[in-house]
Amino acid sequence: MIVVTGASGHLGRLVIEELKKRVPAERIVAAARTPEKVADLGVEVREADYDRPETLKGALGDATRVLLISGLDANRAQQHAAVVDAAKEAGATLAYTSAPNADLTEAALAADHKATEAYITASGVAYTLLRNNWYHENYEQSITIAPQLGAVYGAAGDGRIAAASRADYAAGAAAVLAGEGHEGKVYELSGDIAWTLAELAAEISAVTGKEITYQDLPKDDYAGVLAGAGVPAPMAGVLADVDVQISRGWLAQTPGTLRELIGRPTQPIGEYVRTLLGR
Ligand SMILES: NC(=O)c1ccc[n+]([C@@H]2O[C@H](COP(=O)([O-])OP(=O)(O)OC[C@H]3O[C@@H](n4cnc5c(N)ncnc54)[C@H](OP(=O)(O)O)[C@@H]3O)[C@@H](O)[C@H]2O)c1
């Protein structure tokens, strides 16, 4: 069985839909801590709570392939380790959604991914690391509110962001789960084209006909803008740090691996902006 954890999330749901195009639905399991949320997906549903290892043992027992979709909690490295243990016990190959250059980056956001990768490689489980670059969807709010504000705010300078849509990453994960030859691989997955926040502002201008500029702020000022928009202070600090890392080139790589896995170009950011703004 191919078991997808975190199947109730945005990415998880898309992965299940992509898997259904590639393998019989009877071979797919949607594993979630709230099984009701995935009852509509047309595949077997199992309870799998990262905080309750006994549910993981049951959910992954007959798995040949597992996708561990990273969580969001402060103790997620520990939570992920419990899923790795269950995958290893089942003798499954584990794919894990990580972050770009997780082993090298200084980005605070990537620390848990680095710890999880280290746990996976030390555990002896067969694995594939899916180091997803940024989602286009991370900019949903910035894009939708930009016409009102006349600006996109950030602290990324002219750093480039090789983002792709969640749907593209989901297709990449499904290709790995349903395919062969991916064991032991570390994939840096990104959009085909990396863009700056000034270029994002220009895309929004082109679509709306309004003048939108990019306002580059010092890190702490940008954290303040995020906090003012309702982001909890600790997360605002982490996200401002992400922008600083972007300014240093963290998200700039475009190796083309995601495009190869999905067999088509990734969605350009301009297309995402047009779709989001309904133009
Ligand atoms: N690359 C990027 O740009 C980027 C951006 C945002 C997030 N991420 C990472 O990628 C992951 C997937 O993204 P997404 O958009 O699908 O996020 P999402 O929609 O917030 O989904 C998160 C998923 O994790 C599940 N989860 C959280 N804690 C859990 C636990 N204790 N046990 C079992 N499941 C748990 C959630 O279950 P419930 O439905 O029960 O809450 C949900 O299914 C995120 O969790 C985050 O680690 C990456």
pLDDT tens digit sequence for 130-142:
999 999 999 999 9
Q: Is the CB of 33 under 6 A from ligand 1?
A: yes
Contact 48, 84 (CB under 8 A): no
Distance between Cα 112 and ligand 1 center (Å): 14
Task: Report how far residue 276's alpha carbon sits from residue 143's, in angstroms, rounded to the nearest whole number.
Answer: 8
Atom of ligand 1 nearest to the CA of 132: 1
C-beta of residue 172 within 8 angstroms of C-beta of residue 60: no
Q: Is the pLDDT of residue 2 over 90?
A: yes
Ligand 1 centre to CA of 11 (Å) is 8
d(CA 23, CA 70): 23
The alpha carbon dihedral of 194, 200, 202, 203 has a sign of positive
11 lines ligand 1 (CB under 6 A): yes
Give the Cα separation of 218 and 52 in Å (integer).
41
Superfamily of domain 137-161+192-252+267-276: UDP-galactose 4-epimerase, domain 1 (3.90.25.10)
Q: Which of 33, 38, 235 to mutate to test the pocket of ligand 1 (most atoms within 8 A of CB)?
A: 33
Report which protein residue has its CA nearest ligand 1's atom 1: 134
CATH level 3 topology of 2-132: Rossmann fold (3.40.50)
The β-bridge relationship of strands 186-189 and 126-132 is parallel
pLDDT per residue over 47-76, tens digit each?
Answer: 999 999 999 999 999 999 999 999 999 999
| Ligand 1 centroid to residue 79 C-alpha, Å | 12
Quote the tokens at residue 57.
């043992």
Q: Which residues contact 125 (CB under 8 A, 6 or more apart)?
A: 84, 87, 88, 92, 93, 94
Q: Over 90: is that where the pLDDT of 209 sits?
A: yes
* Residue 235: partners with Cβ closer than 8 Å, 6 or more residues away: 226
pLDDT tens, 67-115? 999 999 999 999 999 999 999 999 999 999 999 999 999 999 999 999 9
**Which residue has the CA at smallest separation from atom 28 of ligand 1?**
71
For residue 268 the two structure tokens come to 């350009």
Distance (Å, whole) CA 162 – CA 119: 27
- With a CB cutoff of 8 Å and minimum separation 6, the contacts of 244 are 155, 156, 219
In the predicted model, what is the mean pLDDT of residues 216-234? Answer: 95
Looking at the chain, the number of H-run helices and the number of E-run strands are 11, 9
Q: What is the pLDDT of residues 230-267, one digit of tens each?
A: 999 999 999 999 999 999 999 999 999 999 999 999 99
Q: Is 237 in the pocket of ligand 1 (CB under 6 A)?
A: no
Q: How far is the CA of 99 from the centre of ligand 1 (A)?
A: 13
Ligand 1 atom with the shortest distance to the CA of 169: 1
**Which tokens hold the place of 262?**
């999905």
From residue 168, alpha-carbon distances to 15, 73, 180, 230 in Å are 10, 25, 19, 29
Asked if residue 134 has its Cβ within 6 Å of ligand 1, the reply is yes
CA of 221 to the centre of ligand 1 (A): 28
Query: Which atom of ligand 1 is nearest the CA belonging to 70?
Result: 47
Ligand 1 atom at minimum distance from 11 CA: 16
The pLDDT assigned to 40 comes to 97
Rounded CA separation 115/129 (Å): 13
- Please work out whether the CB of residue 190 comes within 6 Å of at least one atom of ligand 1: no
Q: For residue 114, give Cα distances in angstroms to 57, 76, 78, 251, 277.
A: 24, 12, 12, 16, 36
Only one residue has tokens 């939570």, namely 79
Instruction: Please tell me the distance from the alpha carbon of residue 225 to that of residue 242, in angstroms, as a whole number.
Output: 15
Residues 6+ apart with CB under 8 A from 233: 223, 227
Cβ(164)–Cβ(259) below 8 Å: no
Among 66, 72, 83, 266, say which to mutate for ligand 1: greatest number of ligand atoms within 8 Å of CB. Answer: 72
Nearest atom within ligand 1 for CA of residue 49: 32
Neighbour-count burial for 190-226, b at 16+ CB within 10 Å, e otherwise: bbbbbbbbbbbbbbbbebeeeebebbbbeeeebbebb
Residue in 161, 92, 85, 176 with CA at minimum distance from that of residue 128:
176
Residue type, 3: V
Average pLDDT of the chain to the nearest whole number? 97
Q: What are phi and psi of 197, to 5 degrees?
A: -70, -30
Instruction: Give the per-residue pLDDT at 279.
Output: 82
| Residue 233, helix vs strand vs coil | helix
Name the residue ranges covered by the structural domains of the chain: 2-132, 137-161+192-252+267-276
